[in-house]
Amino acid sequence: MAESGQVFPALRVSQLDASELDHEVFSLTKSQFTKIFKYHQTNFLARFAPEIDAALKLLIWKFTVHASESTVGQQILNLKYHDERSFGSGSSPWMSKRQKILYAMILIGCPWIKDRSNDLMQLLELTHWRHMVNQMLGWFECSLKVASLVNFLVFLRKGVYLSLMERILGIRAMFPQEQGMRQVTFEYMTRELLWHGFSEFLFFILPLINFQRLKNFVMRRLLPKSLLSRGLNDGFQRTLTSCAICGEWPINPREIGCRHVFCYFCIQSNFHADPAFTCPLCNQSVGDSSNITAIKVNLT
């Protein structure tokens, strides 16, 4: 049994998995929220995007880090944030209230300030300092990215402080209880590799298949003879009101030499996809594109 207050180091892969789960949870939450305004005609989401992101992050923080000292991904993987500065002090080994507030300020406040920096400068009447402030923010962002990269490389070597924020706050993802042996199986990975390989093969081969030509060939071979004979005996008045291909009222009607009428798009698209295309009702062949002519009606 583990002693009271004892914690156990977390695996690197567990910390990385928890971080990916946190990003997915935020993306899913935001997508569900945007569905509410799916048919909203105003630019509400675009106008208040930084505030919406901040509110969603604050909501997630309230019910995760603030309530249980762990993010959603960490809760799924049985991890919690451990206060490294509490070691040997006799206090609680988990995040303090101050660390939770600072966590929210860095995670939520800093991105919001970055997105609203131009608006804040206008509000504070600092527009004449805009170029210098933007330049300083650019340098700070670049330096932060370099520091995050260095921190990640250190994490890969030592397995502590996945993010720069964790290093600044002195918090580290740990197991509150001793974990059993991690069982690694490659069965799932094998299925994923096979599926992705099959998907790439389909994406490559499908554009090479002329489905329209294949469909017309099957219809010519399998179409019942009774239907063809019925098409030959159809009255001219009935065929003028329906396309022999789509069955709807002919748009810009065309004929190919038989008693049936076609929409311009229907006959042209089928002929270009399959030069051996024939009338589906009487099996009349098009032969050449010059045979597709505007319909002529004899009113005498």
pLDDT for position 129: 72
Q: Are 86 and 92 a contacting pair, CB within 8 Å?
A: yes
Return the structure tokens found at 219: 């219809």
Distances (CA, A) of 221 to 106, 173, 185, 224: 69, 67, 50, 9
H or E, element range at 20: helix 12-36
Length of the chain as a residue count: 300
Q: What are the start and end residues of each CATH 3.30.40 domain in the chain?
A: 211-294
Measured distance CA(248)–CA(167) in Å, rounded: 68
User: What tokens does 99 get?
Assistant: 């660390």
pTM over 0.75, yes/no:
no
What is the mean pLDDT for each group of 10 consecutive residues in the chain (300 residues)? 65 90 92 84 82 92 91 90 74 85 92 82 69 81 92 92 92 83 68 85 81 74 55 49 84 85 89 83 81 70
pLDDT for the residue numbered 81 = 92
- Alpha carbon distance 87, 81 (integer Å): 13
| Model pLDDT, residue 5 | 58
pLDDT at residue number 166 = 92
Return the ∠ at Cα 191 (arms to 189 and 197), rounded to 5°: 100
- Using alpha carbons, select from 276, 238, 287, 288 the residue that is nearest to residue 259: 238
Token duo for residue 100: 């939770």
What's the confidence (pLDDT) of residue 182?
Answer: 60
User: Where does 211-294 sit in CATH, by number?
Assistant: 3.30.40
